[in-house]
Amino acid sequence: MSTSIPSTGASEVDDLRALIPPVSELIRDYDAKWTWDELKRMIACGDLLPIKRQPELRTRYRVWYDKVVARHGSVGERRAATLATF
């Protein structure tokens, strides 16, 4: 039994892209929390706990993520569907 992967039309992609804030909005509305050197240091030390989305961006991301999963399935479902074609 093969699970088909739904095709993605241009309007569906545009719909998902509309949920992603543009870089100009992120720069305008959200102050940088760390310098580039601070980020590199945190990553090098493996201390990723402080690096997380601001609450509003986390909510927006969750809405986007839920729509992607609803449309395309979870990563596990997508992987299984892809492997089923081999």
Q: Is residue 8 scored above 80 in pLDDT? A: no
Q: Give pLDDT, residue 76.
A: 83
Mean pLDDT over 43-72 rounds to 89
Q: Is residue 4 scored above 80 in pLDDT? A: no
Threshold 0.75, pTM exceeds: no
Q: Give the alpha-carbon dihedral of 81, 20, 63, 77, to 10 degrees.
A: 10
Q: How far apart are CA 11 and CA 30, in angstroms?
A: 29
Mean pLDDT over 51-78 rounds to 87
Q: How confident is the model at residue 3 (pLDDT cuts 50, 70, 90)?
A: very low
Q: Give pLDDT, residue 77.
A: 80
